[in-house]
Amino acid sequence: MTRPLSFLPRPVRLALRLALVAALVWALLALSDRAMALVMRFETGEARMLSAAIFAAYALLLAIPFVPAVEIGISILVMRGADYAPFVWGATGAGLMIAWAAGRFVPLTFLVRLARDLRLVRIEALLMRLRDMNPPARAAALSAALPRPVAALLTDWRYLTLALLLNLPGTIVLGGGGGLMLLAGMSGLFRGPLVLATVLLATLPVPLAVWLLGTGVLA
């Protein structure tokens, strides 16, 4: 079966994917402005629908590796205030779980092609090595790709390690939150319910602080 757009040159496919991401960002901002305008006019029914669309788009953006998840979430909190904190928290958790599910259930062959089209050479090489490995071998390969102190914690304290990595800015080299959750899903070492609990707890502190104390805590 011929995959969609396979007849197009690689630079064209890359441009189309980047254009799609840019369109999603633009739509997110446009929907946000529209929702706030409706709230000011007390059109609560339509405003709620648009707000739901905003956070659905936000969650999808967070699932994409190398998207600055923390910066997007903080920007929404700063612009929209403490009332948005619970929704930012929920959307962040949803986005990260989408990335984990993609790593867990999406065929690695598809992810290899996607990384190749996006010119993510290191990610493509890692995915190609993982493609034919069983979960223990994948864990060993992923450990080799991480800093040594982190790799030592990957097995026995993997959920705690995942929570810490989600809050460390230096992990952008692994794709940020979306990339980390994608790798966690591909490893086959993380169980869904425990991953969900880990993600919700790891992403709670900042939204909770903003919700209780206001946006001043971000200054």
Asked if pLDDT for residue 25 goes beyond 50, the answer is yes
CA neighbor of 195 nearest in space, from 164, 154, 162 = 162
Q: Which domain holds residue 120?
A: 1-219
**Quick one: pLDDT at residue 1?**
41
| Residues 113/3, Cβ–Cβ less than 8 Å | yes
**Quick one: pLDDT at residue 94?**
93
Give tens-digit pLDDT for 131-179.
Answer: 777 777 776 776 676 666 666 666 668 898 889 888 876 666 566 788 8
Backbone angles phi, psi at 2, to 5 degrees: -80, 130
Higher pLDDT, 11 or 37: 11
Asked if pLDDT for residue 194 goes beyond 60, the answer is yes
Give the DSSP letter of residue 217: G
Asked if pLDDT for residue 72 goes beyond 90, the answer is no
Distance CA 215, CA 49 (A): 25
User: pTM to 2 decimals?
Assistant: 0.66
On the CB side of 213, CA atoms within 13 Å amount to 10
CA neighbor of 211 nearest in space, from 66, 86, 30 = 86
On the CB side of 86, CA atoms within 13 Å amount to 3
Could you tell me how many residues make up the chain? Answer: 219
Instruction: Give one word for 133, left, alpha or beta, with left for phi > 0 and alpha for psi -120 to 50.
Output: beta
- Using DSSP's 3-state secondary structure scheme, residue 81 falls into coil
**Quick one: pLDDT at residue 170?**
61
Task: Report the share of the chain in percent with pLDDT over 90.
Answer: 10
CA neighbor of 85 nearest in space, from 184, 194, 207 = 207
Weakest-pLDDT range from 39-43, 97-101, 164-168: 39-43
Higher pLDDT, 146 or 125: 125
Question: Considering its fold, how many domains does the chain have in total?
Answer: 1
Weakest-pLDDT range from 16-20, 61-65, 103-107: 16-20
Asked if pLDDT for residue 35 goes beyond 80, the answer is no
